[in-house]
Amino acid sequence: MKRFLLSLVLIFSIAFAQTGVTDTEIRIGTWGPQSGPAAAWGTVMVAMDAYFQYINDNGGVNGRNLVLVSRDDGYDPARAVSAVRELIDREKVFALVGGIGTANGMAVLPFVKRNKIPWVSPSTGSGAFAKQSDGLIYASYTNYGIESALMTRHAVNELGNKKIAVFYQNDGYGKEGLEGVRSEVAKLIAQGIDATVVTEISYERGETNMGVQALRLSASGADALVMYSTPTAAASLLNEIGNLDYHPRILATSALLDPSLLANPGMQGALLAAFFKLPSVVVGEGNGDPAADDIYVNVVAKYAPEAAKDPFRSLAGIAFAQPLVEALKAAGSDLTRDSLIAALNALEGYDTGLFANIDFTNGYQGNNSIRLLKMTPEGLRIASDFISY
């Protein structure tokens, strides 16, 4: 009887250690808005699933197929918690990838950490996830603080702008972008470079009239404007400053790579940050990165043609998944969460995917670079090489 009970204990221990892994598959969980006002971001998950199908059709990962288990959270933090609880408790996923939105990610973070589930590429530019990793969270999205610092450095050193203004949403997202600008300007001044933040202009969530903000911005005399807002707020501000015949250089976070905003006349000539390689379908025929063109044609268009209509979000979803797949390969056939974490910690100089460089050997913020795109009458065009922090 004792021998029988010991055998049961050993069986359950092995099963627990290998949760989400069988001889034939690895179950990976993700969540995000597949319904509601932010449902367009559901394309990220569609593209991830397409990439997993592509990997499976090319031999899988060490003989196992990847299975993506996704849940709709409607972009609601409370629903995100329920979704992740179901993925971990009921679906028994081995690891997590993606997960869209800062507030939603922060809501699920305690539960993920309590269950010690590896989580790769939270789909947000918040630096909080890498800072609170506890050896479980691996960020690939260039965070807003680094992004805004790099945009500011480029504006001052390469474009000759000296008077910087910041337009930001008064929350964690906007304030992180603001702090990056402040930090970079302080560094430039310490180097003897002429630069200053002439005004910091905030607005509250839900605020729609940006007339007062436009007047303050115009009065500041800023020659460059860094924007960390929603597309709706950015469009309102651009309309107002256009009415004032005031036209500073616009530098915008990757979160503003939104088709409706890019169609605004005030965005002509604007520079926007991108944190991964882009295909020709986004930046013009012949201008795309070969790796991105290959992924767009052979993965997105082939496995998820409906997602091909939204190439930026599609490529983002695949970019988020690639470091996880690379680490799963490196972890070997004897796959455990410990071996996956060891492989992630050893991931260095990974540049064959859609990111310019992923490196987790010095911390949990694996990507610290951006490329600038310029809005032209012909569409987005590449305006810089990748810039690293």
- Give percent of the chain above pLDDT 90: 92
What's the pLDDT tens digit per position in 267-297? 999 999 999 999 999 999 999 999 999 999 9
The CATH superfamily of 144-274 is Response regulator (3.40.50.2300)
Q: What is the 3-state secondary structure (H, E, C) of the chain?
A: CHHHHHHHHHHHHHHHHCCCECCCEEEEEEEECCCCCCHHHHHHHHHHHHHHHHHHHCCCECCEEEEEEEEECCCCHHHHHHHHHHHHHCCCCCEEECCECHHHHHHHHHHHHHCCCCEECCECCCCHHHHCCCCCEEECCCCHHHHHHHHHHHHHHCCCCCEEEEEEECCHHHHHHHHHHHHHHHHHHHCCCCCEEEEEEEECCCCCCCHHHHHHHHHHCCCEEEEECCHHHHHHHHHHHHHCCCCCEEEECHHHCCHHHHCCHHHCCCEEEECCCCCHHHHCCCCCCHHHHHHHHHHHHHHCCCHHHCHHHHHHHHHHHHHHHHHHHHHCCCCCHHHHHHHHHCCCCECCCCCCCECCCCCCECCCEEEEEEEECCEEEECCCCEEC
pTM above 0.85?
yes
For the cut 50, the answer to whether the pLDDT of residue 4 exceeds it is no
The average pLDDT across 148-157 equals: 98
Q: What's the confidence (pLDDT) of residue 344?
A: 98
pLDDT at 242 over 50: yes
CATH topology of domain 2-142+288-369: Rossmann fold (3.40.50)
pLDDT at 2 exceeding the cut of 90: no
Q: Kindly report, residue by residue over 327-347, the tens digit of the pLDDT.
A: 999 999 999 999 999 999 999
Same fold, 2-142+288-369 and 144-274: yes
Domain ranges for the chain, please list them: 2-142+288-369, 144-274
